[in-house]
Chain A
Amino acid sequence: MKRNNSEELKEIVLESGIKVKPVYGPEDTKDLNYEEKIGRPGEYPFTRGIHPLMYRKRPWTMRQYSGFGTSKETNERFKWLLEQGQTALNVAFDLPTQLGLDSDDPFGEEEVGRVGMAIDTLEDMEEAFSGIQIDEISTSLTINPVASVLLAMYLVVAEKQRVSWDQVRGTTQNDILKEYIGRGTWIFPVEPSIRLIGDMVEFCSRNVPKFNPFSVCGYHIRESGATPIQEMAYAFQIAITYIQEVLRRGLKIDNFAGRIAFNFDIHGNIWEQVAKFRAGRRLWAKIIKERFGAKNPRSMTLRMIAGGGGGGLTVQQPENNIVRGAYYALISALSGTQTMALCSYDEAYTIPSKKAALLSLRTMQILADEMGLRDTVDPLGGSYYIEWLTDEMDKKIVECMEKVDTLGGMIKAVKEGHIQREVSRQAYLREKKIQSGEITKIGVNKYIAAEETADIELHPFDPSVAEEQKRKLKEIKARRDADQVKQALGELKKAALTNENVMPHMLRAVKRYATLGEITRIFKEVFGEFEEPKGL
């Protein structure tokens, strides 16, 4: 008797819970109507990409996350990255800045300049971009609860460079809902935080039309333990929440949907990630067109930065992360991303050294210029497996989004901690699978080195940054017109208390060198602070 082949094969189940067959053929894609489900690149439903010619016309934007110490040091690193061929900036701020604390706040002690650059006033922002022409680059500011303050500072710097706001390109991350789920830089309660996002979208749609006022981050949700399905589903539910906030103000979907950006993760199974992005593009286009009635095709396009992959990197055998990074970049390119950033091999330890950051940039450049990734659009399109998997992922993402609806929508689900608990549970399950060997991680549970030698050169932390920042802050406070600052802060508070858009007042306050901490305190007084839901 012949033995049954399928019995001998180990079952393959993706993180998304989808079972993979050993072979796929035309029978698996026979129900997929090309025009309806796939279509040509640049055309609805954008499964194959949001532009007709994609990388054939222009490679993806390369935007390594960087920033540390003082704005002066960060400025030097920015210039160096641009000289090395990086095409945009991705700014990292230190934790006190991300949480709206000035560098002299005792709670931020030991954290000033550690994981990004320290910003206290407009002057720091001016220094960070000194000698960099703002209209020649696009800048992503990784900042969330106080995004409105940093955007205001950036716009004033542009103004001082005589760059008109309609020429300012970039993104503020400004996705507060994902901060409550993962990453954790939240300050204010949910509703007022979303109101601030609405204020920024409204302001930018009228005054800074080439700027993306928020970038929804499935990335950090995935990094906190979510499956690829949850990454997309939660991100879409978050984006929908922000859209509803903006529509409530009377803006039309086509006024701002084309400026919605996404940030996604790329570690894990290569085919699952590629299918995730293809399904995501199709689903997002459908949501914007059918649910929100957009007419402009640009509104329907899922524009994304796909990269990072920190969750896939390992502390063990750190050089292996160089290889992982290259594969992650490949995933990202095969997925049709607009912008790419890679975690560097030393990021399981600390922020990247210069050497590691350059290697990440070169990884992307090699892929773009040597390997043929730009030759043709969506080279995996039409593959029986990829098209089948794209459709399966699509269905699963929809199911997961429906679960959020039954919880009463994203705001309620986050306030009550449902999403946080679900993501933690997934993280725990995944960690148990890694520890049992069910999920293989080379160097962690397979091919373990007898002795770990982590003798890679790491980015050093400079504790003198805090002193330098404090000195500067004191000097600015002595130099600025205190009455003018007080008056601007008073106006800002008044706007915060009513429904008035805070942005014009914010711009005035930062121009008068009000500090980030002073502005945040005003908002804390008016809005209060977020309280984490109890229970695990």
Chain B
Amino acid sequence: MNVIKTPGEKRIRVVIAKPGLDGHDMGAKVVALALKDAGMEVIYTGLHRTIEEIVKTALEEDVDVIGMSIYSGAHLSLTKKLMDQLKEKRLTDKLVLVGGNIPQRDIAKLKEYGVDGVFPVGSKLDDIVDFIKKRMKD
């Protein structure tokens, strides 16, 4: 019922990250713009970030959601590293999304690592927005 934001309601904060050497940033930027349009605060890390830098940004910016975009094929090891470091830093409350060039067969594996949502190339922008909104409400 209440569509007007109450003053205390916090906007969802998201970091969109590009780990490693992969330079394909169109997907990351398109998703970032879609999340912004949906009213979220979006921090984009830029290219060539280490997992350490991404975790640091997530911590410093106090984000609710971490979205990582990978096109080179190195998504499994990079994601594993991210999840390990989040655990280490006790940041397990963050919602973690992975997108990019992710083959179907790797989705289960990523979820096993603890990723909440996987959105490969071809995913609907609305689905990503809805997923975040729903999970943040829960």
The reply to whether A461 and B22 form a contact with Cβ atoms under 8 Å apart is no
Write out, one digit per residue, whether chain A residues 98-116 have a CB within 8 A of any chain B CB (1) or not (0). Answer: 1101000001111100110
CB distance from A528 to the nearest CB of B (A): 14
The reply to whether B25 and A110 form a contact with Cβ atoms under 8 Å apart is no
CB distance from B71 to the nearest CB of A (A): 9
Known interface pairs A111-B74, A435-B125, A532-B46; A99-B30 also in contact (CB < 8 Å): no
Q: Contact partner of B23 among A109, A183, A314, CB < 8 A?
A: A183
| Among B31-39, B60-68, B90-98, B107-115, the stretch in contact with A | B31-39
The reply to whether A315 and B122 form a contact with Cβ atoms under 8 Å apart is yes
The answer to the question of A427 belonging to the interface, with a C-beta cut-off of 8 Å to chain B, is: yes
The reply to whether A435 and B124 form a contact with Cβ atoms under 8 Å apart is yes
The reply to whether B44 and A461 form a contact with Cβ atoms under 8 Å apart is no
The answer to the question of A424 belonging to the interface, with a C-beta cut-off of 8 Å to chain B, is: yes
Bound-state Cα–Cα, A108 to B74, Å: 10
Write out, one digit per residue, whether chain B residues 7-18 have a CB within 8 A of any chain A CB (1) or not (0). Answer: 000000000000
Residues of chain B lying within 8 A (CB to CB) of residue A110: 20, 74, 77-78
The reply to whether B73 and A115 form a contact with Cβ atoms under 8 Å apart is yes
Known interface pairs A111-B21, A315-B122, A435-B125; A349-B72 also in contact (CB < 8 Å): no
Known interface pairs A349-B101, A427-B29, A428-B30; A108-B122 also in contact (CB < 8 Å): no
The answer to the question of B136 belonging to the interface, with a C-beta cut-off of 8 Å to chain A, is: no
Residues of chain A lying within 8 A (CB to CB) of residue B122: 314-316, 444
In chain B between 84 and 138, which residues have their CB closer than 8 angstroms to a CB of chain A?
A: 101, 103-104, 120-122, 124-126
Bound-state Cα–Cα, A184 to B122, Å: 21
CB distance from B46 to the nearest CB of A (A): 4
The reply to whether B103 and A349 form a contact with Cβ atoms under 8 Å apart is yes
Residues of chain A lying within 8 A (CB to CB) of residue B24: 183-184
Known interface pairs A111-B74, A115-B73, A184-B47; A427-B104 also in contact (CB < 8 Å): no
Bound-state Cα–Cα, A517 to B106, Å: 32
Known interface pairs A315-B121, A432-B125; A424-B33 also in contact (CB < 8 Å): yes
The answer to the question of B57 belonging to the interface, with a C-beta cut-off of 8 Å to chain A, is: no
The reply to whether A424 and B29 form a contact with Cβ atoms under 8 Å apart is yes
Known interface pairs A108-B21, A435-B124; A454-B104 also in contact (CB < 8 Å): yes
The reply to whether B26 and A224 form a contact with Cβ atoms under 8 Å apart is yes
Residues of chain A lying within 8 A (CB to CB) of residue B25: 182, 184, 224
Number of chain B residues close to chain A: CB under 8 A: 33
The reply to whether B73 and A350 form a contact with Cβ atoms under 8 Å apart is yes
Known interface pairs A95-B22, A99-B48, A428-B33; A111-B72 also in contact (CB < 8 Å): yes
The reply to whether B121 and A114 form a contact with Cβ atoms under 8 Å apart is no
Q: Which of B33, B34, B36, B44 is the most central at the interface, judged by chain A CB atoms within 10 Å of its CB?
A: B33
Bound-state Cα–Cα, A329 to B71, Å: 25
Residues of chain A lying within 8 A (CB to CB) of residue B26: 182, 223-225, 424, 427
Residue of B nearest to A224 (CB): B26
Q: Contact partner of B30 among A111, A184, A431, CB < 8 A?
A: A431
The reply to whether A348 and B21 form a contact with Cβ atoms under 8 Å apart is no
Bound-state Cα–Cα, A350 to B126, Å: 26
The reply to whether A114 and B74 form a contact with Cβ atoms under 8 Å apart is yes
Bound-state Cα–Cα, A348 to B122, Å: 11
In chain A between 76 and 127, which residues have their CB closer than 8 angstroms to a CB of chain B?
A: 95-96, 98-99, 101, 107-111, 114-115
Residue of B nearest to A529 (CB): B48
The answer to the question of A13 belonging to the interface, with a C-beta cut-off of 8 Å to chain B, is: no
Residues of chain A lying within 8 A (CB to CB) of residue B126: 435
CB distance from B37 to the nearest CB of A (A): 8
Chain A interface bracket (under 10, 10 to 19, 20 to 34, 35 or more): 35 or more
Bound-state Cα–Cα, A150 to B44, Å: 32
Q: Chain B: interface secondary structure?
A: loop
Residue of A nearest to B29 (CB): A424
Residues of chain B lying within 8 A (CB to CB) of residue A135: none
The answer to the question of B55 belonging to the interface, with a C-beta cut-off of 8 Å to chain A, is: no
Residues of chain B lying within 8 A (CB to CB) of residue A107: 20-21, 50
The answer to the question of B82 belonging to the interface, with a C-beta cut-off of 8 Å to chain A, is: no
The reply to whether B48 and A427 form a contact with Cβ atoms under 8 Å apart is no
The reply to whether B34 and A461 form a contact with Cβ atoms under 8 Å apart is no
Residues of chain A lying within 8 A (CB to CB) of residue B120: 315
The answer to the question of A395 belonging to the interface, with a C-beta cut-off of 8 Å to chain B, is: no
Bound-state Cα–Cα, A350 to B125, Å: 23
Residues of chain B lying within 8 A (CB to CB) of residue A183: 23-24
The reply to whether A348 and B121 form a contact with Cβ atoms under 8 Å apart is yes
CB distance from B32 to the nearest CB of A (A): 5
CB distance from A102 to the nearest CB of B (A): 13
Residue of B nearest to A108 (CB): B21
Known interface pairs A115-B72, A532-B47; A428-B34 also in contact (CB < 8 Å): yes
Q: Which of B21, B26, B34, B42 is the most central at the interface, judged by chain A CB atoms within 10 Å of its CB?
A: B21
Residue of B nearest to A314 (CB): B122
Q: Contact partner of A185 among B23, B36, B78, CB < 8 A?
A: B23
Residues of chain B lying within 8 A (CB to CB) of residue A392: none
Write out, one digit per residue, whether chain A residues 401-425 have a CB within 8 A of any chain B CB (1) or not (0). Answer: 0000000000000000000000011
The 28 listed contacts between A and B (C-beta, < 8 Å) are: A96-B21, A101-B21, A107-B21, A109-B77, A110-B74, A110-B77, A111-B72, A114-B72, A114-B73, A114-B74, A115-B73, A182-B25, A182-B26, A183-B23, A184-B25, A184-B48, A185-B23, A223-B26, A224-B25, A225-B26, A225-B30, A350-B73, A424-B30, A427-B29, A428-B29, A428-B33, A431-B30, A435-B126
| Known A95-B20, A111-B21; further 13 A-B contacts with Cβ < 8 A | A95-B23, A107-B50, A111-B72, A114-B73, A224-B25, A350-B73, A424-B29, A424-B33, A425-B33, A427-B29, A428-B29, A428-B34, A532-B46
Query: What are the 3 closest A-B residue pairs judged by CB atoms, nearest first?
Result: A184-B23, A95-B21, A532-B46
Binding site for A on B (CB under 8 A): 20-26, 29-30, 32-34, 36, 42, 44, 46-48, 50, 72-74, 77-78, 101, 103-104, 120-122, 124-126
